[in-house]
Amino acid sequence: MLALMLVLAVQQTPAPMRSGEDVLRAMHDRYAGHWFTTLTFTQHNTATRPDGSVQHSTWKEYASLPGRLRIDFLPADSGNGAIYARDSQFTIQGHALKDATPFVHPLMVLGFDVYFQPPDSVAAKLRALGTDLSLVREDTLDGRPMYVVGARAGDLHTRQFWVDRERLLFTRWIEPARRDSTRTTESRFENYFPSGPAWVSPRVEFKVDGKQVWLEEYVDINVNGPVPDSLFSPRR
């Protein structure tokens, strides 16, 4: 009996993570073939201005995984929105393509694509964004154990991502602000709930220097429903 208990304990102990690549591989292997391939939802936004006033808006979003996301700014007849596809961002204004720029969306990569794409490919994208995958440690967030990749203990400014150690779900992205690198931006996936063998985060929070500036709350969530490829054509 003691021998059996020792064997079970060894089997349940997660393998040590020596690099960010190990964390990405564990995330991929846990959910590959089991994650939803499409996701649609209505998104209620709250923008908080520096003076404390707030502004609300509503978007409709469609994701086809891996790698594609469409955002319609409501009302739909405005013809305004954005498409993320082929590692690019396409801005739509008045039903027409306004501009297209190369852009790897870190939240798409870590929140969704990691469960589909080869870990080496995901690692290459994160390195290109400036993430040091040689640094990995353990920490806690809201009482849950985490893997932290990209920064040493006490550093909450350098580009890094946090992953729930037990569920192997992306929870937090931190990096210097793009316009002012002395400031720190933070994004969090929160309130995960199970959807079959996968998980959905219905609340995404964005902070600058620790203060909330943008909040997304998702309703009317549907997974694995029909999402036509034509939705992701910037010129349609």
pLDDT tens for 182-218 read 999 999 999 999 999 999 999 999 999 999 999 999 9
Q: Can you tell me whether residue 161 is helix, strand or coil?
A: strand
* Alpha-carbon distances, residue 91 vs 18, 53, 97 (angstroms): 39, 27, 6
In the chain, the amino acid numbered 7 is V
Q: What is the pTM of this model?
A: 0.92
Torsion of CA 55, 185, 111, 130, to 10 degrees: 150
Can you spell out the DSSP letters for 88-123?
EEEEEETTEEEEEEE---HHHHHHTGGGTS-HHHHH
Domain map (residue ranges) of the chain = 16-232
**156-187 confidence digits (pLDDT tens):** 999 999 999 999 999 999 999 999 999 999 99
Q: Which CATH superfamily includes the segment(s) 16-232? A: Lipoprotein localisation LolA/LolB/LppX (2.50.20.10)
Q: Which two tokens stand for residue 84?
A: 């993320």
Share of the chain residues as helix, strand and coil, in percent rounded to the nearest 5:
20, 45, 35
Longest CA span, the chain: 70
